Amino acid sequence: MEAIGRVGIISPHQLPVDIVESLCSLLTGFDALSLSQTNSWWRNYLSDESFWQSRLQGSTAVENCQESWKKKYAQSRPMVFKALMMKDKSELLDACVYLTYQAEQRRRDVHRPSHFQLTHVGTESFSFDLWFSLLPASSEEYFGGIIYSLQSCSREGRQWPHYHQQFVMVSSTGDLYCSVLAGKYAVASDLQPNRWYHVALTYDHNYQRQEVFLDGEKVWSVLGTRHDEWSHLTRGQVGTGCVTSNTLNCPFRGHIGWYGFHGVVDAFRVWRGVLSQDDVKLLANGGELTTERLRAAAKPNSATTWQRKLQLNVQLAKCTRPAEGRTIQYEE
């Protein structure tokens, strides 16, 4: 200990182990990344893979990663979507990212991955889940937006899609809509900004049953066939969608056009078959399912030319991950 007046400076290695562990448990992942760059002691101490694994998977962490968890945390960042103003006449488009096939379907042709379209699953049952957080409204940007939507033509085509449906959407008043059936029903209300939400939808084709979960809890269960425009919805994306409604605040009643999402998405995954409630709870707690069950996902952190074509105007956020707590914190 070095005395300077009445102030004592203690090196971290002089502190009791339990105190250091308690202090580190309070750190966010990006705080720990910054601290690990201050000196060799912190770099070595914060090289513990279990620390970084818990920041990504929480208490449900499992040993299924072939690379450094610290590296994975540093490189894997949530996607930021910022919608254009409704009166914006520029040539820019809302931010969006496409779903791509995973696992063995990707390995068939690594150079030309096809965009995954949910409407191409035929008569198979399916599920999807996502982590998202809303950004606060501002004088230039509305609250909410369409998170996942399909239509009859691509967004880049700049043509009006005669057929268009929103499968996951948050209204400007904080109502959550999530359905692949006909009709629009709010499954949750009063969603708040700067908070991680986990949403999952399952559709059992044999029983024609749809179930929706919010933060691991079932909030809606209904019987019905998929939307009658299903076969016409040949193009889809995460981050924006088209809407025509006289009753929904998207972002206001009577709006006709695109309603880009204003928020952050950490994951969007499509799964084979119907996820059980235990599966959903595992995902809602930051856990993972086996990759064999994963059909498609949105991948923002791609470097090659053809992979960059899978996203448009998407930025990456330096912020806490869902496993670090429901309240999202951004790096200043």
Q: Which CATH number does the domain housing residue 144 bear?
A: 2.60.120.200
Whether residues 116 and 251 share a domain: the answer is yes
Taking CA atoms, 200 is separated from 71, 137, 221, 281, 305, in Å, by: 28, 25, 12, 10, 31
From 37-41, 78-82, 163-167, the region with the lowest mean pLDDT? 37-41
Q: Give residue for tokens 């488009």.
A: 93
Question: How many Cβ atoms are within 10 Å of 217's Cβ, its own excluded?
Answer: 12
Query: Given pLDDT bands bounded at 50, 70 and 90, which one contains residue 265?
Result: very high
Whether residues 31 and 171 share a domain: the answer is no
d(C-alpha 29, C-alpha 233), whole Å: 40
Whether residues 156 and 247 share a domain: the answer is yes
Residue 110 pLDDT > 80, yes or no?
A: no
d(C-alpha 177, C-alpha 212), whole Å: 10
Query: Given pLDDT bands bounded at 50, 70 and 90, which one contains residue 306?
Result: very low
Number of domains into which the chain is organized: 2
Whether residues 110 and 189 share a domain: the answer is yes
More confident site: 109 or 72: 72
Residue 126 pLDDT > 70, yes or no?
A: yes
Please provide the average confidence, as pLDDT, over all residues in the chain: 85
Residue 115 lies in a domain: yes
Range of the domain at 209: 79-316
User: pLDDT of 45-73, one tens digit each?
Assistant: 888 888 888 888 766 555 556 678 888 88
Whether residues 170 and 301 share a domain: the answer is yes
| Secondary structure of 162-231 as H, E, C letters | CCEEEEEEECCCCCEEECCECCCCEEECCCCECECEEEEEEEECCCCEEEEEECCEEEEEEECCECCCHH
Whether residues 86 and 186 share a domain: the answer is yes
Whether residues 65 and 156 share a domain: the answer is no
What's the pTM value of the predicted model, to 2 decimals? Answer: 0.87
Whether residues 51 and 196 share a domain: the answer is no
More confident site: 258 or 7: 258
